[in-house]
Structure 1
Amino acid sequence: MNYSGSEFAELDDISAAAYGHAVELGRFIREDIALRLALSPAEVTHAEKVLTLLRLLQPMPGDPDVLVPVGPDVATADLVSSAEAQIRDLQQAVTDVRSRLMSLTPVYFEGRRLRNRLEAFDVITDQGTVQSMLDHLSAHCRQEVASVAPGGARPGPQLQAARKSSLSMRERGVAVRTIYQHTARSDLATRAYVRDVTEAGVEVRTADQVIDRILIYDRDTVFLPTHAEQDDESQSTGGAIVVREPTLVAFVCNVFEHLWDGATPFVPDTSRAPSVADDLKQSILRLMAKGYKDEMVARRLGMSVRTCRRHISEITEELEATSRFQAGYNVAMSRMLEQRAGREADSG
């Protein structure tokens, strides 16, 4: 049953006054109400129609030509009961449909697992769909979530969502490991987030460079970002590639473990580890030696171009070079990186 605006009529002042007099009289007497309220026949007819639609006037049992007023609670129950029943039926129908369709989830994933020769992954281009899938997997993962997040400071809303998700997973006993880039250590909001989640058992490490964004759920589902078809391969489109094929998933898990083993624990309550600063400096030296521009060096290391140029300026000063190009040349010629690596190996 559909309810139009006329059936859920608006109670105007004239109709309300007519209802009050009908309650006093015990019935709706058109002539008397017209006289008492100085209403025209059309106004009385309108009030009667409104009060009848709102079930405030109902036929007297045994004499349907006589309309008597009923209490607002009775009228409300009479008016909306069928609508409420319809809403309950629709809600139950939605629940039934969702349950029936979601019951096919194991069938879908099992079929996807078996059909891995040609279609080892799904490409999801809609950001809303990607986020919905991530929320679902975060809420239902059972063992571990591992992630790699390139870039420096994390946006505030992203940190809030990550904090809520990470703490919820830890309450369920799910292991959570995250790798950021070293540049995230200098952001106060990120440090506060890391402090909160590590107290709950989340493990966070940082590395100078990472490959790309990675999300791994229970070592059987991997999310990788999609990228625009252009020269700037780091420009993500907001979509994701969802990988479930066991061999590919195992490969990505091995890549994560390799990055994890080489990363430095992020302990926000301690001063910045000297090794982290050294890692950044060595990474800048490597990229300078390869001839990368400032913008590319900054992008690879997850820092702003301004910060990158400040580091480069300090390095060129240390190398007594007059330009970044000379500094890169000096590094390449002197094999400074190899010498430093050798010294570190000897000291180890």
Structure 2
Amino acid sequence: MSGSSLHGAEFGELDDASASAYQHAVLLGRFVRAEIASALGVTEQEAGRVEEALTTLRLLRPMPGRPDELVPVSPDAAAADLVGPTEAEIREMQQSVTGVKTQMLALLPAYFENRRRRNQTEAFDVVSDVGVLQAMLDECGARCRNEVLTAMPGGSRNAKRMDAARPKALDRLRRGVGIKHLYQHTVRSDLATADYVRAITGEGAEVRTTDEVIDRMVVYDREVAFLPEQHVEGRFPGAIVVREPTLVAFLCKVYDHMWAGATPFTPGGEDATDIADDLKRSIIRLMAQGHKDEMVARRLGMSVRTCRRHIARIMEEMESTSRFQTGVNVALYGLLGADFSPSGAAAGEIAGEIAGLGTS
């Protein structure tokens, strides 16, 4: 771009005196300073200023062959001469701007596609190799600064895995990293888990149990979450590694909600009666929702045999000889509570749900 400015002040201004002088020059066919001064009733000095203004505006130009004699030029020709170069410059700039915008906008599809791929790569990783997954868990655990949250569904734990996990947990606790473990109630009768919990709670870890845990979850510093792969066949499932802040924050809220409703687990110090009652209510609730024994057992982290033993004990406590009668008594005694009973449901409807479950 040249150094010329596109402001109106650079072109000069046509005031009333200059306009009148121009009209007289057109009438006379030329601009004579003395005649213009006389016609306008101004001094020749003022007429000289007007002459300079009209010349700047290209409304006066020297006559060919007579450079000292000025003649008026038509306004359209003067305007073309005055602003033509600037208009050409503007057109050139507009073309340049349009070209640059076209080139830049051509990159938009690639930008959004690669940003989507980058965000997906940064926010989520699918780790199918169990060895790689364990290495990532160990690395996150070693780098963890503040807190580890875990949720582990199921009943009895593998004794060797619990023994291997103990020194890692103790090391983190001694580094000042908080640990929260959330299990299901059924682990309370597992000796390997009880030994592990006794060791880590002695160093400041917190452990709670609840009737149901949605799924496995491990969260480090509320920044990175590990979730299990779903619908995997033919191999041991890996994990999804989540780093997207909003999703990690949501998972932490889900965890906090489950944690708030769970019962502290201190081996040897818990109230077994409260846990047993909680399990009983959970079994009754799942039965009333229409789940078979196998699903009830899976949801509560126990074997089918143990689940059926609990069901038999419930029937005995309810003085029932059949599932139908158990359902009637549950409804009559209000054991499900307002949160579990369908609004306005008759006792027979709940009884029917429980009685209709298969036992195979």
TM over 0.5: yes
Q: Deviations over 1:34-78 (max 9, x none)?
A: xxxxxxxxxxxxxxxxxxxxxxxxxxxxxxxxxxxxxxxxxxxxx
Q: Deviations over 1:160-207 (max 9, x none)?
A: 122111101011110011001000001122111111110011110000
1:220 paired residue number: 223
Is 1:149 the equivalent of 2:148? no
1:203 paired residue number: 206
Say whether the 8 Å CA contact 1:288–1:324 is kept in structure 2. Answer: no
Q: Percent identity?
A: 57
In structure 1, the residue corresponding to 2:170 is in which secondary structure? Answer: helix
1:272 Cα deviation after fit: 3.7
| Structure 1 pair 271–245 and aligned structure 2 pair: CA distance change class (3 A) | closer
How many angstroms apart in 1 are the aligned matches of 2:198 and 2:250?
31
Of residues 182, 185, 198, the one that matches 2:185 is 182
1:266 paired residue number: 265
Ranges of 4+ aligned residues in structure 1 off by more than 6 Å: 111-114, 339-342
| Structure 1 pair 144–112 and aligned structure 2 pair: CA distance change class (3 A) | farther
Say whether the 8 Å CA contact 2:125–2:241 is kept in structure 1. Answer: yes
1:248-287 correspondence runs (5 A) = 248-287=247-286
| Structure 1 pair 128–291 and aligned structure 2 pair: CA distance change class (3 A) | same
- Give structure 2 stretches of 5+ with no counterpart: 1-113, 342-360
Say whether the 8 Å CA contact 1:146–1:215 is kept in structure 2. Answer: yes
Is 1:123 the equivalent of 2:122? no
Q: Deviations over 1:227-280 (max 9, x none)?
A: 2268xxxx9942100000000000000011001111100011315432211110
1:341 Cα deviation after fit: 9.1
Is 1:338 the equivalent of 2:337? yes
1:245-324 correspondence runs (5 A) = 245-324=244-323
How many angstroms apart in 1 are the aligned matches of 2:160 and 2:115?
34
**What letter corresponds to residue 136 of structure 1 in structure 2?**
E
Of residues 164, 169, 172, the one that matches 2:167 is 164
Say whether the 8 Å CA contact 1:224–1:241 is kept in structure 2. Answer: yes
| Structure 1 pair 291–334 and aligned structure 2 pair: CA distance change class (3 A) | farther
Say whether the 8 Å CA contact 2:285–2:340 is kept in structure 1. Answer: no
**What letter corresponds to residue 206 of structure 2 in structure 1?**
E
Q: What is the root-mean-square deviation in Å for CA atoms of aligned residues? A: 2.8
Q: So what's the TM-score if we normalise by structure 1?
A: 0.60
| Structure 1 pair 243–266 and aligned structure 2 pair: CA distance change class (3 A) | same
2:137 paired residue number: 134
1:332 Cα deviation after fit: 4.9
Q: Which protein has the larger Cα radius of gyration, Structure 1 or Structure 2? A: 2
How many angstroms apart in 1 are the aligned matches of 2:251 and 2:235?
19
Q: Deviations over 1:1-48 (max 9, x none)?
A: xxxxxxxxxxxxxxxxxxxxxxxxxxxxxxxxxxxxxxxxxxxxxxxx
Number of positions where the alignment pairs a residue of Structure 1 with one of Structure 2 = 228
In structure 2, the residue corresponding to 1:159 is in which secondary structure? Answer: helix
How many angstroms apart in 1 are the aligned matches of 2:289 and 2:192?
34
Q: So what's the TM-score if we normalise by structure 2?
A: 0.58
In structure 2, the residue corresponding to 1:201 is in which secondary structure? Answer: coil
How many angstroms apart in 1 are the aligned matches of 2:206 and 2:301?
20
How many angstroms apart in 2 are the aligned matches of 1:229 and 1:127?
13
**What letter corresponds to residue 266 of structure 1 in structure 2?**
F
1:145 Cα deviation after fit: 0.3
Say whether the 8 Å CA contact 1:225–1:236 is kept in structure 2. Answer: no
1:322 Cα deviation after fit: 2.5
